[in-house]
Structure 1
Amino acid sequence: MSWNDKKIEQHCRAAKLLDEVKESTFKFVRNNHQISEYEVQAHIKDEFDKKGLVTDRDNAIVAFRENTGFVHYYPTADCKKLSPDTLIMIDLWARVDEDDAPFADITWMAYSGKEIDPLVQNTFVLVIKSRDAALKFIRKNLKKGKIPTGKEIDDVTRKVIATAGLADKFVHTTGHSLGFESPHGKEFGLNWKNEHPLIKNLAYTIEPGIYFEDKFGIRSEIDFYINDKLELIITTKVQKELIII
């Protein structure tokens, strides 16, 4: 189901506020070198409250080091603390506190240290390449007047990662529609089962990831929608490099 102009505006507002929370969170980590995953998660919740953002029953994903290798990792009070040469993943989702406002959903990666491990850097570059291939594919089809299917987009991101010999490390779908009660909407997403064209004026995520269990994982997540003019509108900022803490 397409969104009206109000819902698109609410989503874009939530996306802008999430980016502000992301920036605040990385600054918080930068200024607190002994911080734990749980404390970072609490900071994010405080920032949500300050900015009038609400979320579902789950808190943000904050993962350090090998915990980034778990797709949906939620820290507890007894969790990892920041240390030198730490890979960091934060996955944030929220909506503005208004009736029937839709969610925005982002994932960003950072690194606390002076020298990034080459395998981490190369994996990050591959994930970004996969994400950008999807964006290029969507734009190419829209210029021809065609809205691609969720399966077609999923095939594109998966092919990039499979070509590098890491098909089995991409363990979830490419993306999902955004909802109102949770970040996951009810409409078909960007996955191998969806042979329907994407719905205009409805926001989706693109979030390819590569996960080496018990070692590390990389994910990049952005939001977008296709408007009535068949234009691709990206509603979140797009990560291009690892954030250095």
Structure 2
Amino acid sequence: MEGTGGSGPQGTALPPPGCAAPHDDGGQAGASGVGRGAAPHRGVVRSGDGLPEGGKEALSRLCRDLHTSRESGNPPAGLGPLGLERCAGGPRPRGGGPPPPHPGTHPGARHGDGPQETGRSPPRELEMNAPEPPALTPRLTNPAELIALQSELAQMGVDGWLLYDFRDQNPLAHHLLGLGKTTRRAFAYFPAQGDPILLRHAIEASAWRHWPWEARVYRGWDDLTAGLETLLHGVGVVAMESSPGGDVPTVDRVPAGALEGVQKTGTRVVSSGDLVTRYHSSWGPEGRASHLRASKVVRETVHAAFHHAALAAGEGRPVGEAALMDWIRGRLRERGLREQVDCSVATGRNASDPHYHPEGPGALLAEETLVLIDLWGAEPGGIPADQTWMAWLGESPDDRTLQVYDAVRGARDGALDFLRERARSGKEVRGFEVDRVARDLLAREGLDRWFAHRLGHSIDRELHGSGPNLDDLETRDVRKILVDTGFSVEPGVYIPGEIGVRSEVNVYWGPDGPEVTPDRIQEELLRIPLRG
């Protein structure tokens, strides 16, 4: 809000009296000149303008009703979907995280998959009885975490961690700071010594009300420039969400212009990659427990799906790829995985496309066919499980299929053995090193040229997380694998027009090293005899 005069939470200045309309998205801070004598930005409503007595209270009640209606799925009569988006006073999501994705988005969708089918919606009673996600206190705004963070900053040899965000351009900062909707630029500085300091816009007091330390306020662009220079006076090196050359895109979140503004103060910027891993991508006990439950559901569901397909084929009514995908999504949701739920089913040569998605009903799963099923999902607020399994519908897989499967399984197991050995020796391990082990093993079989993607992706509260990837192909991920983080291990061989094989498991890196999930991973190629 633009405030009502006086002093706000931890603020040193406030704008003139007024009330920013919730749908004012701002743009560049200070560009409109509001608060410096210029005409208000179009769409800004001054307090009392056009509102009858008690109108502000009525508007607040309306906003609360709209937020409640979003949770229940029953919007109030006569109100369109934009009504909710234009309310700024409603409660933020639990844990202070970003707002829910726009309807139609797929948090679990794989990059490059194209449009994803949603499958059937779960029964209303399942949704209403779903467990509440755990309420998470943002780690960086918890004073109890400050000493540990400052110790880590000192070990890194940096003066502090500078987090920047503008309208969720940096979702890592948004999550770490527990922000709801924001529309103006902000810098939150966590020094290696002393208390953190926030530099925010004058109208964003509500968005930052949970900030427990000093907050400095700016209105115009000149205030922001001067405020940043003051904030970083005498600071030599800061960590930010950047990656030299864009080598690690999941960390490269701060725009070039914002980095330039920091560097103009004389402060050098290094990547905060390892800090992101520790403070954003760690699982915690509840996260690990939710992942273990999800991994069991995923494993049991994929086995049920293979047998479902075999029974249908044996009865002379083979199921199509798209129909089996719908069946899998429905089963995952019925078993309690209701977030980031999706899958891919590819039969025969279709599996040679690593991110295959069927057109229309897709191919039929018939007798004596190789089938790849990749499926994933999470409990509400939990850590996703992501697995890929291979099966032969019938009893007689050909020699080429067995050869390629054995090579892929060997690359997977070689990578897992490497991780176990590093844990036993107490040596650190970096993402690119694990990828290289699996790639070299496939090279011995003459198959490495057909391994067209990284070995594994980070898993945190997003399916494709922001921690270290196992990658020495698409990028060279030099970040360290840290305790209490997780990732997939999924080598694959994809020979266009011939065959595609992938074997995927997940790994939680605990205090004693790698914990592989599911508890029983695939060893041999599954052979599912047809019944009918």
- Distance in 2 of aligned mates of 1:50 and 1:80: 26
Work out which of the residue numbers 420, 433, 443 in structure 2 matches 1:162: 443
Aligned to 1:54: 338
Per-residue deviation at 1:179?
3.1
- Distance in 1 of aligned mates of 2:284 and 2:419: 22
Aligned to 1:233: 515
- Distance in 2 of aligned mates of 1:172 and 1:14: 25
Asked if the contact 1:111/1:244 (under 8 Å) is kept, the reply is yes
1:143 equivalent in alignment to 2:432? no
- Distance in 1 of aligned mates of 2:353 and 2:460: 23
Aligned to 1:89: 372
- Structure 2 residue identity aligned to 1:207: E
- Distance in 1 of aligned mates of 2:339 and 2:393: 27
- Distance in 2 of aligned mates of 1:31 and 1:84: 10
Aligned to 2:144: none
Asked if the contact 2:321/2:346 (under 8 Å) is kept, the reply is yes
1:124 equivalent in alignment to 2:405? yes
1:185 equivalent in alignment to 2:465? yes
- Distance in 2 of aligned mates of 1:243 and 1:105: 18
- Distance in 1 of aligned mates of 2:510 and 2:469: 17
Aligned to 1:174: 455
Q: Deviations over 1:51-88 (max 9, x none)?
A: 121243x7310000001101011224331002222110
- Distance in 2 of aligned mates of 1:201 and 1:188: 12
Per-residue deviation at 1:154?
0.6
- Structure 1 residue identity aligned to 2:396: E
- Structure 2 residue identity aligned to 1:175: G
1:18 equivalent in alignment to 2:315? no
- Distance in 1 of aligned mates of 2:459 and 2:514: 16
Asked if the contact 1:14/1:95 (under 8 Å) is kept, the reply is yes
Q: Deviations over 1:156-188 (max 9, x none)?
A: 00000111112210000000111324x110112
Aligned to 2:358: 75
Asked if the contact 1:55/1:93 (under 8 Å) is kept, the reply is no
Q: Aligned with 1:32: secondary structure?
A: helix
Asked if the contact 2:352/2:495 (under 8 Å) is kept, the reply is yes
Q: Percent identity?
A: 30
Q: Deviations over 1:196-230 (max 9, x none)?
A: 221211111100000111111000000111212x3
Aligned to 1:111: 392
Per-residue deviation at 1:24?
1.4
Q: Aligned with 1:171: secondary structure?
A: coil
Aligned to 1:207: 490
Q: 1:206 to 1:68 in 2, by over 3 A?
A: same
TM-score after normalising by structure 2: 0.44
Q: Deviations over 1:71-124 (max 9, x none)?
A: 01122433100222211000011001x23x111100000001231111110000
1:38 equivalent in alignment to 2:318? no
Aligned to 2:230: none
- Distance in 2 of aligned mates of 1:217 and 1:55: 28
- Structure 2 residue identity aligned to 1:194: D
Asked if the contact 2:389/2:503 (under 8 Å) is kept, the reply is yes
Aligned to 2:59: none
Aligned to 2:433: 152
Residue ranges of structure 2 left out of the alignment (5+ in a row) = 1-277
1:29 equivalent in alignment to 2:309? yes
Aligned to 2:502: 219
- Distance in 2 of aligned mates of 1:46 and 1:88: 19
- Distance in 1 of aligned mates of 2:514 and 2:333: 31
Q: Which has the larger radius of gyration?
A: 2
Asked if the contact 1:138/1:147 (under 8 Å) is kept, the reply is no
The total of aligned residue pairs comes to: 240
Q: Aligned with 2:390: secondary structure?
A: strand
1:8 equivalent in alignment to 2:291? no
Q: Aligned with 1:60: secondary structure?
A: strand
